[in-house]
Structure 1
Amino acid sequence: MITFTDFLPVPEPQLTKVKFNMRAGDGSGEAWDFLMDDHEHWINLSRWRTKQTNNNMGNARFLLAFAQYYPYGPQYFIFGGAFEVSEIKPDRYDDLGYDLIPLPLHEDYIKRLIIKLETPIGRSPYLRHYAGVQASLNPEVYELAPDTKLGTFPGYQNVRLRHHELQRIIANDEPSWKDALSSVKGVYVITDLSNGRLYVGSASGEANGLWQRWSGYAHLKNLTGGNVELEQLRAGLGDSHIIGNFQYSILEIFDPKTRADTILKRESFWKLALDSRTHGMNLN
């Protein structure tokens, strides 16, 4: 077993705390989702100060922050960074009471390192002194992923993928993503984040639905899925423009048995609704 403290040494153990974030106190979301998509909210989870001293930083100058990695279970936490801690003066309670400055310490492990606690923890012991965490929670290194984790499929209405993320999902056959995208046909939108222009397309006839259609976009030797409009853009601006600026989202999903002409009519509707022919990247 590789222990937590052996793998994540710190320069001043007595002045370091470890925080195991699970969810926002106001019920607005899970810590892992904030770490993935909302950096400010993620940082604020560890900046909160209460009147209960056992939940606060005390005299700690440094913090290692973790988010509960719920895809694996309640005992698993993923590393979210190391920070220098300073109190906000005058003291604030039940408010953001600390400033956190990101440190380079172990930054290569952010969103990659997953630790496993011996038993699930309740809400009260989520903030611990580094010097005693090994004895009290017996954390062990469970996984060091080769790349940053993307998480499980978030639901069709929440898909928002940059091109490098789409590449990894397709290349790694991410199970939850593959199952979800293979089980539906649909209409999707590609956004060029450099200028806001949109391209509306559909997976209407593919046997494996959106997964098959988006696999074409993910392939570095393709990138356009064979779309004439995107081929023209690629010829003019190069592969790097697509890889650096394209984002993929889902507008509408359909049962795999839905007729192709029904989906194509909906694709046409979305082109009109988003005006992607006049002000976007659709030519027809």
Structure 2
Amino acid sequence: MIAFTDFLPVPEPERTKVKLNMRAGDGSGEAWDFLMDDHEHWLRLNQWRTKQTNNNMGGARHLLAFAQYYPYGPQYFIFGGAFEVREVTPARFDDLGYELTPLPLHADYIKRLIIKLERPIGRAPYLRHYVGLQDSLAPEVYELAPDVKLGTFPGYQNVRLRHHELQRIIAGDEPSWKDALSSVKGVYVITDLSSGRLYVGSASGEANGLWQRWAGYAHLKNLTGGNRELEQLRRDLGDAHIVENFQYSILEIFDPKTRADTILARESFWKNALDSRAHGMNMN
């Protein structure tokens, strides 16, 4: 076991606090999602001050901020940065009571380092002194990912993946993405961002739905999933063009028991609706 304090030393332990964010108090979202996709809201979570001592910096000069990494479980938290803390004067409560300035300290671990607490904690947010945290919650280094962690699955209507993101999701078996994409069949669209041309395809017969279909596109020795239209583009422009310019989104989803001919009919509808035969990359 690698102890939290051994892995994340700080210059002033007695004047450092650790904040374990779980979700916004107003119910607007999870801390991890804000850390990934909404930097301003992530800062607000950590700037917020109440009169309760469990959400008060208490004269701290530095802050280590974490977000609950709920794909793994309630006692897992991912590092969201180190900050210099300045109290807003006059004091504000139930408001943004602190100014936070990002520090380079441990910046390489942001969105990569996951710690595991000895037990789940029951209140959010949860501010504790750096000194004593190791004894009270026994945090340990659970994982240091080689790359920045991707966000959890955002909902079928919000999927918009660049090729390098698709590669990482498939290669890493990202749990929330795999569960979501494996459980549905569907019609999807690939956009060539360099030209705006579209390719409409479907996962109609695959046992693992969209996950299995998109796994083909993510493979660096394939990239086209066997589509002859995309193969021609790859031969003309090269693999790098696909990796640098292709984006993947979902148009429509179906229950896995849906008949293949029903999904293929919807694929044809979307080809007509988006005119992807005449002005896109579909040939049939």
The separation in 2 between residues aligned to 1:278 and 1:65, in whole angstroms, is 51
Q: Cα 1:126–1:233, aligned 2, differ >3 Å: closer, same or farther?
A: same
The residue that corresponds to 1:242 in the other structure is 242
Greater displacement, 215-224 / 93-102: 93-102
The residue that corresponds to 1:156 in the other structure is 156
2:97 alignment partner AA: G
Q: Cα 1:204–1:120, aligned 2, differ >3 Å: closer, same or farther?
A: closer
Q: Cα 1:136–1:182, aligned 2, differ >3 Å: closer, same or farther?
A: closer
Displacement, 1:190?
2.1
Greater displacement, 209-218 / 21-30: 209-218
Identity of aligned residues (%): 87
Displacement, 1:112?
2.3
The residue that corresponds to 2:99 in the other structure is 99
The residue that corresponds to 2:222 in the other structure is 222
**1:170-190, Cα deviation, whole Å (9 max, x unpaired):** 223445544443343210122
The separation in 2 between residues aligned to 1:236 and 1:97, in whole angstroms, is 57
> Partner of 2:131: helix, strand, or coil?
helix
The separation in 2 between residues aligned to 1:157 and 1:42, in whole angstroms, is 23
CA contact (8 A) 2:160 2:248 kept: yes
Q: Cα 1:197–1:13, aligned 2, differ >3 Å: closer, same or farther?
A: farther
Indicate the RMSD between aligned Cα atoms, in angstroms. 2.7
The separation in 2 between residues aligned to 1:235 and 1:225, in whole angstroms, is 14
CA contact (8 A) 2:2 2:140 kept: yes
TM-score under structure 1 length normalisation: 0.85
The separation in 1 between residues aligned to 2:50 and 2:26, in whole angstroms, is 14
Displacement, 1:162?
2.5
Greater displacement, 151-160 / 108-117: 151-160
Displacement, 1:280?
4.5
The separation in 2 between residues aligned to 1:136 and 1:87, in whole angstroms, is 26
Displacement, 1:153?
4.3
The residue that corresponds to 2:7 in the other structure is 7
Unaligned 5+ runs, structure 2:
none
CA contact (8 A) 1:71 1:151 kept: no
1:270 alignment partner AA: W
**1:96-140, Cα deviation, whole Å (9 max, x unpaired):** 333333222222222222212223223267011212322332222
**1:6-58, Cα deviation, whole Å (9 max, x unpaired):** 11001121222110000011101111122222222222211212344541223
The separation in 1 between residues aligned to 2:189 and 2:73, in whole angstroms, is 33
Matched, 1:69 2:69: yes
Displacement, 1:60?
2.2
Q: Cα 1:101–1:239, aligned 2, differ >3 Å: closer, same or farther?
A: farther
The separation in 2 between residues aligned to 1:82 and 1:68, in whole angstroms, is 16
TM-score under structure 2 length normalisation: 0.85
CA contact (8 A) 2:71 2:175 kept: no
Greater displacement, 215-224 / 189-198: 189-198
Unaligned 5+ runs, structure 1:
none
CA contact (8 A) 2:79 2:109 kept: yes
Displacement, 1:3?
1.3
CA contact (8 A) 2:54 2:126 kept: no
Q: Cα 1:112–1:124, aligned 2, differ >3 Å: closer, same or farther?
A: closer
The separation in 1 between residues aligned to 2:166 and 2:205, in whole angstroms, is 21
